[in-house]
A and B are shown apart, each in its own frame.
Chain A
Amino acid sequence: MTFWILAPIMVAAALGILFVRKAVHAALLLAVVMISLAFLYAVLDAPFLFAVQIIVYTGAILMLFLFVMMLIGVDATDSVVETIRGQRVMAVVLGLLFGVVLVVGISQVTLGTVVGLDEANAGGNVPAIANILFSRYVFAFEATSALLITAALGAMVLAHRERLTPKQTQADQAAQRMRDYAEHGKHLGPLPSPGVYARHNAVDTPALLPDGTAAESSVSRVLAARGTVRSAPALADDIDDVRRQIAGLDGKSPAAMPETSGKAGAPAATEEDVK
């Protein structure tokens, strides 16, 4: 029963890996296949492999895939250009042939009655596996440890990058700042924070200079590139708005001001700012 529910899902997800353009979607579809496989292992009397499948495959290996995808760019999509002409068609035809041969061949075989693992799993699946693993397969197990150490070392060697230039220390950075100031007159201190003297102190609202113009350097370059920064005309509208409110509120209590992100009850901009 579990099989007939999971098998179509698995085949559909696996086919999806072939067709989706984005690598992240492929990874998520692979996760579906792997978790379904884990459940099939549980159905097949392999509770240890059920746990290992979820922990190692979906937990560790797929996370590794996703990490690497983040490092090399998530939005990288496949190119559709074929370097070998007709490769895609030939691959699909060959794959279909291979699949048909496999499936037809397997269906011809009679496997006999299922012995089942009730006897082998009598003392529990994990102790039974441990018994075999540490007796008959102990040499393979030891070889595995060597393999894992080699893999860890190999990953370190491959991911290591030789430093070609000396590392920039804090003293170097300070000296560079002073040099910039001396040569180009670049401001020494930190950049202005967003929202200063503006109506909102949100990060997408540039700070206002004393003359009422927006300070470009006060908002993150990333936000500016995405185009989510509040534009200068919008800010000018805001300023006009405030000016009108202040003119209309002359002599009234400041508590009647509309709500702003500034101090509670305080006017959004003092009269000096606006002038």
Chain B
Amino acid sequence: MTEYVVLSAILFTIGCVGVLTRRNAIVVFMCVELMLNACNLAFVAFARQHGNLDGQITAFFVMVVAAAEVVIGLAIIMTIFRTRRSASVDDASLLKY
């Protein structure tokens, strides 16, 4: 069972680095999804480890929240793109000044 959790940790780390390094808002978003998926894997693995289904239910709820989050996030990215003609996270920096 440890190997599943290790894989989950590796995927989570890769997602983390992606969020920190990539500039395209959509790719950043994909990396967030990757992190959520990595957590789901750990949840499902621990559900099997402990022999009850609570972990699977939690993974299910994470998926629902991720779906809602993607809908709103992509709508925000599109709105920003409409006004600024760019999907780069560096261009949306007006609040800084």
Contact A158-B13, Cβ < 8 Å, known A17-B27, A18-B21, A33-B37: no
Contact B72 A72 (CB under 8 A): no
B77 to chain A, nearest CB (A): 7
Q: Are B71 and A151 in contact (CB under 8 A)?
A: yes
Q: CB-CB < 8 A to A91: which residues of B?
A: 17, 20-21
- A23 to B24, Cβ gap below 8 A? yes
Q: How far, in whole Å, are A117 and B90 apart by their CA atoms in the complex? A: 47
Closest to A71 in B: B78
Residues of B within 8 A of A41 (CB): 41, 44
A106 to B7 Cα, complex, angstroms: 11
Which 3 A-B residue pairs are closest in the complex by CB-CB distance? Answer: A115-B51, A95-B17, A91-B20
23 pairs from A and B in contact (CB 8 Å cutoff): A11-B10, A11-B14, A14-B10, A14-B11, A18-B14, A26-B26, A30-B33, A44-B4, A44-B47, A73-B87, A87-B21, A91-B20, A91-B21, A95-B13, A116-B48, A129-B57, A140-B61, A144-B64, A147-B68, A151-B67, A151-B72, A155-B75, A158-B76
- Seen from chain B, the residues whose Cβ lies within 8 Å of a Cβ on chain A are 1-7, 9-18, 20-24, 26-27, 29-31, 33-34, 37, 40-41, 44-45, 47-54, 56-57, 59-61, 63-72, 74-79, 81-82, 87-88, 90
List residues of A whose CB falls within 8 A of some B CB.
3, 7, 10-11, 14-15, 17-18, 23, 26-27, 30, 33-34, 37, 40-41, 44-46, 48-49, 52-53, 56-57, 60-61, 64-65, 68-69, 71-73, 76-79, 83, 87-88, 91-92, 94-96, 98-99, 102-103, 106-107, 109, 111-112, 114-117, 119-121, 125, 128-129, 132-133, 137, 140, 144, 147-148, 150-152, 154-155, 158-159, 161
